[in-house]
Structure 1
Amino acid sequence: MTERFDPSSLQQSWPAPSDPRPIVTFGAGSIVGDAHFPAYRKAGFPVAGLYDPDTEKARKLADKWGVTAYATAEEAAAVPGAVFDLATPPDVHASVLRLLPDDAAVLIQKPMGSDLAAATGILTICRDKNLKAAVNFQLRFAPMMLALKDAIARGWLGEVVDFDAWLALATPWQLWPFLKGLPRIEIAMHSIHYLDLIRQLLGDPNGVHAKSIGHPKHDVAQTRTSAILDYGDKVRCAMSVNHDHDFGRKYQACEFRICGTEGAAYLQLGVNLDYPRGEPDILEIRPKGGDSWINVPLEGSWFPDAFVGRMANLQRYAAGEDVELVSSVEDAWNTMALVEAAYQSSAAPATQLQRRP
């Protein structure tokens, strides 16, 4: 058992590019200082500088990390040989993409626009400019997720037939002031990560039943979502997401349960518990033929290590070292289509109950 199911043999990281190019970041929000720049420094990726229209915020972040704060977006876009990292709000992506040189390599923050129509516009820009463009669905690159996908590929779970995402936590929405007033929040800005990962593991569903609502305690558009993804009669897939479980840590949770015909996996996504400090990620597997759960010692966490793998794949693809650009804009558009379907389902009336005669 120990030799056959050796957890240390599972893939947990992405190969590094042999000659990383300088990175230019658009945006100076908390995600840049909390995840992007820590990840790039950890990996040894050179960061040339950043641009943000809030010049004071940009200068403070640039000084902290020892990089250049560009005076204009045009100056940032003109850095030769750069890989561009868009940590911008969804309604800003298109305007930045239009500034970039043709054939550039670019990483676009999720979501890929404010809605599916905007995603289609972004896809068109990327095609017209021949951009090597990917969307920052970095959860795919988290060490626990790379290991999970490797275990599934090796047949440790058999055929995956159940996927449950269960979140009951307190999310500090105030860290992202640009979200205030936006009509789409929870699915578009948060659960989109889980929908994207589900697509990678299970493929595109036939459809989705969803309901996403807010909470009386604040004015964020949506913070609670229930969703069922339709994969026919063999695979069951459900998400239960509550960002307002603010009653202490004891019964909070952020976890996935993935069951196959012959094995199962449990994951804790620790960063969401006490964000941004977070708790450790966890991956345990009950493999095919096993009689106990095996803990997979993780070589990193979602934040910041997934951002390392995400950028490494883009850099390697731009250099011809990777054949596939993971979460390319072509593939990410399909995740946006799933998000759009979820919002349409949420807005549609539910099946009505029959009235007693």
Structure 2
Amino acid sequence: MLDELQPIAAATDLSVAPEYRRPIAIVGAGAIVDVAHLPAYRRAGLDVRGIFDLDHERAKTVAKTHGIPTVHGSLEELLASDVDVVDVAVPANVQPGIVHQAITAGKHLLCQKPFAEDLTTARHMVTAAENAGTKIAVNQQMRFEEGIAAAIAMAKAGWLGEVTTFSFDVNIVTDFSSWEWLAKREKLEVWYHSIHYLDSVRALLGNPVRAYAVGSRTPGQKVTGETRTMTTLSFANGTNAILHVNHENRTGDAHAAYRIDGSQGSVKGTIGLLYDYPHGRPDTLTVNSAEHTDGWLNYPVTRRWIPDAFAGPMGSLLRAIATDGEPETSGRDNLGTLALVEALYRSMDSGDAQRPEESAP
């Protein structure tokens, strides 16, 4: 059994070989950089040389905490440095301007998700990077979370036979008002949370040909946008994905689970972080495969979504730079995720299923 699990474990490996590592600079010093990006990079042995934030004092505090030697006084100063990999960790509405400046400066980029607030803007960034010969990746790190990555690896390796359904069932409390810039967003849950699940589904199943969603708000919620969504996705081969996500659970029985079903088995797991965010609890994963297990087998998940999975997109970008390949979560790949998000909002508005643009013939 250990021999059979080795390729699954290898698919979840977040280590970055020394020959792929190169200095990194970060634009943005918010909480996600402090608690996720930088701890993950430290564990992966990556070298962060500089940081810039409009709040210079905040940048100095984060730099001191994480041993970053240079706090840049401006974006232009950072882009003039000899660091050629830049991690942009800012809200989507201000990201494109920074990205275009960085591309002009010849930098390779890891961009925050959402990549952009609309598909057209995202396409412009991808085209600009490709024309300049720079690599661009998006920080869609959930597909690198150990349990999700192992589940996808098992499905791709045929452990489940022919995959029939990928589902997420998340019923939690999220105080989106803690992020002031999110509180007034009219489009909220899918853009800023379920986009993680959608990207993970795409990592296994590719682009759907049909997307349907409903979104709702609950009485007394603190934020403007939708906080509950129900989504169904249909794929050309007959596979389906189902997502039920609620952020207004007021009864204390949090639940955050996913499951992949196939003709020869199933794999199911829990997302521990969401049970008591941001503290969370360990993730779980268990698999039942007609060919590989005798009943349900627990798979040991030893890492967390935050911070560990954040090493995944950066590691993939660094490998792509070194080998002249494509990052797993490249900007071009992420166009499929953004097209899906836009299709779901069109579905909410129209009441009808929609075809994502990146799936169109």
TM-score (norm 1): 0.91
Select between 256-265 and 181-190 the one with higher mean Cα deviation. 181-190
> Quick one: structure 1 residues 179 and 129, their matched pair in 2 at CA, closer, same or farther if it must change by over 3 Å?
farther
Distance 1:83 1:155 in 2: 36
Instruction: For residues 188-242 of structure 1, give each alpha carbon's deviation from its aligned partner in whole angstroms, at most 9, with x where no partner exists.
Output: 1110111111111111111101112233321231211111102257323110000
Which residue of 153, 177, 184 maps to 1:181?
184
Looking at structure 2, the residues matched to 184 and 350 of structure 1 have their Cα atoms a distance apart, in angstroms, of: 18
Maintained 8 Å contact 1:50/1:58: yes
**For each residue in 1:116-163, what CA deviation from the matched residue of structure 2 results, as whole angstroms up to 9, or x when unmatched?**
222223223323333200111111111222222221232111111011
Distance in 2, matches of 1:15 and 1:203, equals 25
Partner of 2:342: 340
2:53–2:59 CA contact under 8 A, matched in 1: yes
Alignment-derived partner of residue 265 in structure 1 = 267
Post-superposition offset of 1:318: 0.9
Residue aligning to 2:248? 244
User: Could you say which residue in structure 1 is the equivalent of 2:26?
Assistant: 25
Give the whole-Å Cα distance in 1 for the aligned partners of 2:115 and 2:127.
Answer: 12
Alignment of 1:10-49 (within 5 A): 10-11=9-10, 12-19=12-19, 20-49=21-50
Residues 13 and 146 of structure 1 are in contact (CA less than 8 Å); yes or no, is this contact kept in structure 2? Answer: no
Give the 3-state SS of the residue equivalent to 1:166 in structure 2.
strand
- AA aligned to 1:242 is N
User: Using the alignment, how far apart are the partners of 1:324 and 1:222 within structure 2?
Assistant: 34
Aligned partner of 1:306 in structure 2 is: 309
What TM-score, normalized by structure 2, do the two folds share? 0.90
Partner of 1:207: 210
Cα RMSD, aligned residues only: 2.0
Aligned pair in 2 of structure 1 residues 136, 202: CA closer, same or farther (>3 Å)? same
Change (3 A) 1:185 1:323: same
Q: Does 280-289 or 106-115 show the bigger shift?
A: 280-289
Q: What is the CA–CA distance in structure 2 between the aligned matches of 1:174 and 1:140, rounded to whole Å?
A: 26
Contact 2:14 2:309 in 1 (8 A): no
SS of the equivalent of 1:319 reads helix
Distance 1:8 1:135 in 2: 25
How far the C-alpha of 1:5 sits from its partner, in A, is 4.9
Task: Quote the residue 1:315 is aligned against.
Answer: 318
Greater helix share, 1 or 2? 2
Residue 29 of structure 2 contacts residue 51 of structure 2 at CA under 8 Å; is this kept in 1? yes
Q: Is the 8 A contact 1:7 1:296 kept in 2?
A: no
Matched, 1:70 2:72: yes
The correspondence of residues 138-287 of structure 1 with structure 2, limited to 5 A, is 138-216=141-219, 217-231=221-235, 234-248=238-252, 251-287=253-289
Structure-2 residue corresponding to 1:355: none
How has the CA–CA distance of structure 1 residues 293 and 26 changed in structure 2, closer, same or farther, with 3 Å as cutoff?
Answer: same
Q: Which moved more, 1:230-239 or 1:206-215?
A: 230-239
Distance of 1:15 and 1:3 partners within structure 2: 20
In structure 2, the gaps of 5 or more residues are: 354-361
SS of equivalent residue, structure 1 residue 303? coil
Amino acid at match of 1:29: G
1:92-125, Cα deviation, whole Å (9 max, x unpaired)? 1111112214542110001111122222232233
Letter in 2 for 1:59: K
